[in-house]
Each structure stands twice: as C-alpha cells, then as structure tokens.
Amino acid sequence: QVQVAESGGGLVQTGGSLRLSCAASGRLFATSVMAWFRQAPGKERGFVAAMGWNGVSTRHADSVKGRFTISRDNAKNTVYLQMSSLRPEDTAVYYCAAATYGTIWNVAADYDSWGQGTQVTVSS
C-alpha cells in the first residue's frame, strides 16, 4: 500500500508561484500513477495533473496547462506540482493521489491513496 503526504501550500498573490510536494511511502512501480487533484469550496474535486511513475507520460488539465507542471524525483519517492502564474480561481485544497498499479488519469475514484490536502490561496 502506498501512502502519500503533500506539503507546500500557502498564501500567494496573483501571478506568483508555489511548488507543492508529495512524498510517497511504500512500493511504486513503473506502471504506478501519481496525480494532483484540487477542490474549491462548494465544488467537486477536479483533476489537475498526473504522471506515470516511469516519467514518460504526463497529463495536465486544460485549466492549468502551460502554468502548472508535474514532475518527479524517483530517488526521493516524491512528485511535485510547480505552479506559476497563479490566479484567484486556483484557490483550493490540493490533494496528492497515487494509484499503485495504474489508473485512468483523471478519475479520482481510481486512485488508491490520498493525502490530507494542502491549502493554496491566491489573493488578488
């Protein structure tokens, strides 16, 4: 069983940047998938970005494409979400998720493990 814990959230002004980290414990495989989702107050949890643990494939939601980048550090068993050009509408709790043996990229129900979430607030 993979366990994940995210960190790095905070308060940032419009146009600023943040880097979120997600540390994973347990076994990860080449076919594992790590992802970021977010949930704003009163809204459903939505897909942000995902990548295969092999690092070959990445996916980004249209709303963040060109601004957010998912990456990994295999030695640290960690994935990152580099967020730039932040907007107030990016304000949400950001969750890291892992699917040990793979999943559909943007389907939250397919992920095995979830972090507690880290708050990102973008002020105008």
Tens of pLDDT, residues 44-89? 999 999 999 887 799 999 999 999 999 999 889 999 999 999 999 9
Q: What integer pLDDT is reported at residue 74 of this predicted model?
A: 85
Q: Going by C-beta distance under 8 Å and a sequence separation of 6 or more, which residues neighbour residue 67?
A: 83, 84, 85, 86
pLDDT-derived band at 102 (thresholds 50, 70, 90) equals confident
> What is the predicted pLDDT for the residue at 17?
98
Q: Is the pLDDT of residue 32 over 80?
A: yes
- Torsion angle of alpha carbons 47, 21, 90, 92, nearest 10°? 80
| pLDDT exceeds 90 at position 26 | no
Query: What integer pLDDT is reported at residue 54 of this predicted model?
Result: 82
Query: Does residue 11 contact residue 39 with C-beta atoms inside 8 Å?
Result: no
